[in-house]
Chains A and B, each alone.
Chain A
Amino acid sequence: MSGNRQDVDRVMQQLQDRIAAEGHTEAELEEARKLAYLDGSGKGPEFFYPELAAKVRYLDTHYENPILFAPEGNPVKRGFQKVIQKLVGFTFFRAFRHQNAFNKEVAAATAELAAFIRMQEKENAALRERVEALEAERKK
């Protein structure tokens, strides 16, 4: 082992002492801890809109299966692949197009649902804030 090994615990202690000296409130510390658990571990939020949005974005850009593949390999292989594509095209291409159209509809519907959920989430957050404000007012 290298003789110049860095003392990580000492550095961390310095950093933690500095954080403690800044005098954060318990609420601030709680918020900072929440931010470190956005992995669905149960310590962070249960439903996490950005994850859904990422999946929706993936669906939106990957719903289409390519019907034709560019032939690959040596000239004989490429020629063979072209012939096969032409032969099976009559039956399979129509099914592929139907499937792609269906996938597109599913992707669009999912995006609409996600947008609706987002809207609901914002409304819920606004209502929660309103309720909390009213409760605080009532307590006064």
Chain B
Amino acid sequence: MRRCGNGWKRWKRNGKSDGKCPGRTVWRPGGTWDLGMKKIGFVCPWFGWNIPGGAEAELRGLVTHLAESGLTCEVLTTCVREFHADWGKAAYRPGTVTERGIVIRRFVPDTRDREAFRNAFTKILAGELPLTDQEEAAYLAGSVNSKALYDYMDTHRQEYALYVFLPYLFGTTANGVAVAPEKSVVIPCLHEENYIRLRYFGERFSKVRGMAFLADAERAVAESAFDLSKVEKAVLGAGVDTEFTADGARFREKYGIGEHFLLYAGRKSRGKNVYTLLYCFERYLAEHPDSDLKLVLIGGGEIILPDSLDGRVLELGFVDAQDKYDAYAAADLLVQPSRMESFSIVIMESWLCGRPVLVHGDCAVTKEFAVRSGGGLYFEDYFEFAAAVEYLTTHPAESAAMGESGRAFVLEHFSWDAIVRKYTEFFQRLAGE
């Protein structure tokens, strides 16, 4: 048998021969990684090419780009359709399919005790913590789970170099990592919220092999909530599509907007703190009667606008991707008022279009990105909001420089090439040690 690098020692030490030598990682001239390692199984509660959600989109992008780079990736998931569907109901047929070159294995979800889950869920939302052991168990048992999936992972563990779980919140992650903690990597996609205080997460996550974060601030939150002293940690970020063009003039012409405007892109809901933006904007206009500033909202969701904002707010609903990019380029700045983001693709896209951002100072992740990149300002009250909007709309040179700083930051850290390289090195390190 051919001897090749450290893999041989590991193979010999473990005494678990599958007839294949693990091999050594090399960078192929064509630009792909030859890891010489087994498959990576990405475990998630649901998987589909069009389902909404930040973590879902991140998983799709990561799996696709890692597979393109030469890594063998599989998706291990349940038959549940998506977040808003019934978590105990199989919408897909269980089995294995190959879509876009990715093997997807779907397993039947377990039946759930919804009543017990709802009781625990209500308490968590209301901040009535800590829960009792029974309540925590009921919460996790009532989440998305699949015994068939866990059995498969257990039986086939030798075929996989690592199991990668995301996001942290669901049963497939919390219970899935218990199957093979020594080869489990979690990409938690978390932010400061009540769920992270559940003891169950802390117990399970303290034993996993590795944890990958999207931002330093996310890592800090995780380390404050869980004991990760024995866990290999890395801040790797998330991938952003950088290959697009944007034309602000085209957007202005198409939607008939001649004035300066602030842009909000994303779901319009209270949870995203959109009302803060509306009411800060309303007060800003009241205090700046000469301003011609408008606010453009793109994305789904329903909100009610104050009467005083008639004619000053343009609600476009869902727009196609090109219009969205054009909107970033046309806007004076993008406002991201949400306080609970674990990454925020929209601020990255705004930077790629050369426009600065204004984020909420209480959101550690977006604030960190704004400060590190030099790509935008932050606010924690109305006065800061007004001062930042005034600064960014009346200092075009500084505003453009911030947009450019942000763009350089995204290209350096979050282009898919950079992300694939970072994740591959991380996975290889974990699988190789």
Contacts and interface: CB of A to CB of B under 8 A. Distances in A.
Interface of A: 1-2, 4-9, 11-12, 15-16, 18-19, 22, 24, 29, 31-33, 35-42, 44, 48, 50-51, 53-55, 57-58
A137 B275 CA distance: 35
Interface string B376-416: 11111111110110010000001001101100110010000
A85 to B, nearest CB: 23
A44 to B, nearest CB: 8
B360 interface: yes
Nearest to A39: B273
B183 interface: no
15 contacts: A1-B408, A5-B408, A6-B374, A8-B370, A11-B377, A12-B377, A32-B383, A35-B382, A36-B379, A37-B273, A38-B273, A39-B273, A39-B337, A50-B304, A57-B302
Nearest first, the 4 A-B pairs at minimum CB distance are A6-B374, A2-B408, A32-B382, A39-B273
A38 to B, nearest CB: 4
B280 interface: yes
A125 B373 CA distance: 45
Contacts of B272: 39
Contacts of A15: 377, 384, 387-388, 391
B273 A35 contact: no
Contact of B276 (A6, A35, A42, A57): A35
Interface residues of B, number: 47
B181 to A, nearest CB: 34
A36 B335 CA distance: 13
Given A8-B374, A38-B270, 15 more contacts: A1-B409, A12-B378, A15-B388, A19-B383, A22-B383, A31-B382, A35-B279, A35-B280, A39-B273, A39-B275, A40-B270, A42-B127, A48-B275, A50-B304, A54-B304
Nearest to A41: B339
A8 B408 contact: no
B188 interface: no
A42 B127 CA distance: 10
A119 B242 CA distance: 50
A3 to B, nearest CB: 9
B296 to A, nearest CB: 18
A2 B381 CA distance: 30
A124 to B, nearest CB: 19
A60 B373 CA distance: 44
A50 B275 contact: yes
B391 A11 contact: yes
B302 A7 contact: no
Contacts of B401: 4, 6
Given A15-B387, A24-B383, A39-B270, A4 B280 contact: no
A86 to B, nearest CB: 28
Interface in B116-136: 127
A31 B279 CA distance: 12
A2 B405 contact: yes
